[in-house]
Amino acid sequence: MHKLSESDLVINPDGSIYHLNLLPEDVAQTVITVGDPDRVSEISKLFDRVELKKGKREFITHTGYLGDKRITVLSTGIGTDNIDIVFNELDALVNIDFKTREIKSELTSLDIIRIGTSGAIQPDIDMGTILVSSHGLGLDTLMKYYKQRLSPEDQNILDAVNQHFADLPGIDPYFTSGSSKLLETIGKGLQRGITVTAPGFYAPQGRVVRAEGKVPDLIGKLNSFKYDGLRITNLEMETAGIYALASVLGHNALSVNAILASRVKFEFSNDPHAIVNKAIELVLERL
Ligand SMILES: O=P(O)(O)O[C@H]1O[C@H](CO)[C@@H](O)[C@H]1O
Ligand SMILES: O=c1cc[nH]c(=O)[nH]1
């Protein structure tokens, strides 16, 4: 069996993984990821018991119990560059033997649920909506570096996206479905749609403050895509990377979006905490 080198799999002197600072036993089978480190305690304060709190940089982790269910909640910070770190390290914690540095013969599939904030780009999706991502469409470059095998259906949708984006120079998106198991349980009955993951908050999401954008009417381009009843519903900065790396590594992932903004009505919530709390309560009730 191949032994991973000390520079490929970086383990700290105390046996924890390099950035997340976690030991293999610190991770539950069900993991909730959030972008904002402050959101971790907003979730774990609803647990019946918190068993551990650890952290390093923006990666804060609390593991505890809701009834009999052990749950890890972990902040990723912003962006798919952080998703690269979080997903490779979470996977290593459950699927690599840290003593031998070898991949385990029996692999574990985690259930990973993101609770994040997002902006809607369809006029009928209001601020305050809790929306699940049926698919993630990445406009960032993370998946230029990983081999991904798409299902024929996902490939067809990506082909249609590429046709629709043909006049957008330099954008080469990637596409992945969310976990059908989690969509049918946690996502049941909720609004759903394709979530676009952007490599920034401002021009990459069509915002203009002072720096002039290069892509004319990005929102219009995204919200006019249609394929077999599917449409692009919202914009944020992690979901596509999460869905793509979860599928490459064999984990189940679902992204639950607290819609704080309507980009087509030019509105942003003045009570974002209430919307995020609604998403947190909904997910915890359904776990
Ligand atoms: O609220 P979180 O989970 O951080 O998610 C959204 O908020 C951040 C931008 O404000 C980005 O991370 C975006 O994806
Ligand atoms: O519009 C929004 C709102 C939250 N997070 C984003 O990335 N975009």
Q: Model confidence over 257-276: pLDDT tens digits? A: 999 999 999 999 999 999 99
Residue whose CA is at the smallest distance from ligand 1 atom 7: 117
Pick the CATH number of 115-287 from 1.10.1040.10, 3.40.50.1580, 3.50.50.60, 3.40.1190.10: 3.40.50.1580
8 neighbors 78 (Cβ within 8 angstroms): no
Q: Which atom of ligand 1 is nearest to the CA of 33?
A: 3
Query: Can you give the pTM of this predicted structure?
Result: 0.98
Say if ligand 1 is within 6 A of residue 119 CB: no
Q: What is the mean pLDDT of residues 242-247?
A: 98
Neighbouring C-beta atoms of residue 159, cutoff 10 Å: 13
Q: Which residues of 161-193 are buried (b: 16+ CB within 10 A; e: fewer)?
A: beebbeebeeeebbbbbbbeebbeebbeebbbb
Residue whose CA is at the smallest distance from ligand 2 atom 4: 118
Choice from 139, 238, 256, 269 to test ligand 1 binding pocket (greatest atom count within 8 A of CB): 238
**Domains of the chain by residue range:** 1-108, 115-287
* Span from the CA of 105 to the centroid of ligand 2 (angstroms): 40
Say if ligand 1 is within 6 A of residue 116 CB: yes
197 neighbors 237 (Cβ within 8 angstroms): yes
- How far apart, in whole angstroms, are the C-alpha atoms of residue 265 and residue 257? 18
1-108 and 115-287 agree in CATH topology: yes
Say if ligand 1 is within 6 A of residue 78 CB: yes
Say if ligand 1 is within 6 A of residue 58 CB: no
Say if ligand 2 is within 6 A of residue 235 CB: yes
**Predicted pLDDT at 1:** 74
Model confidence at 50, in pLDDT bands (50, 70, 90)?
Answer: very high
Say if ligand 1 is within 6 A of residue 204 CB: no
Q: Which of 74, 75, 70, 81 has the alpha carbon at shortest distance from 48? A: 70
Say if ligand 1 is within 6 A of residue 89 CB: no
Pairing mode, if any, of strands 130-138 and 174-177? Answer: antiparallel
235 neighbors 228 (Cβ within 8 angstroms): no
* Span from the CA of 122 to the centroid of ligand 2 (angstroms): 14
Residue whose CA is at the smallest distance from ligand 2 atom 5: 118
218 neighbors 205 (Cβ within 8 angstroms): yes
83 neighbors 238 (Cβ within 8 angstroms): yes
- How far apart, in whole angstroms, are the C-alpha atoms of residue 18 and residue 11? 5
Average pLDDT score over the chain: 98
User: What is the dotted CATH code of the domain comprising 1-108?
Assistant: 3.40.50.1580
Model confidence at 182, in pLDDT bands (50, 70, 90)?
Answer: very high
* Span from the CA of 188 to the centroid of ligand 1 (angstroms): 23
CA distances to 43, 143, 189, 210, 231 from 115, rounded to whole Å, are: 10, 22, 17, 30, 21
**Predicted pLDDT at 169:** 82
**Predicted pLDDT at 286:** 98
Task: Examine the predicted complex and report whether its ipTM is higher than 0.90.
Answer: yes
**Which residues are bridge partners to 237 per DSSP?**
none
Residue 54 tokens read as 């650890």
- How far apart, in whole angstroms, are the C-alpha atoms of residue 55 and residue 22? 8
**Predicted pLDDT at 170:** 87
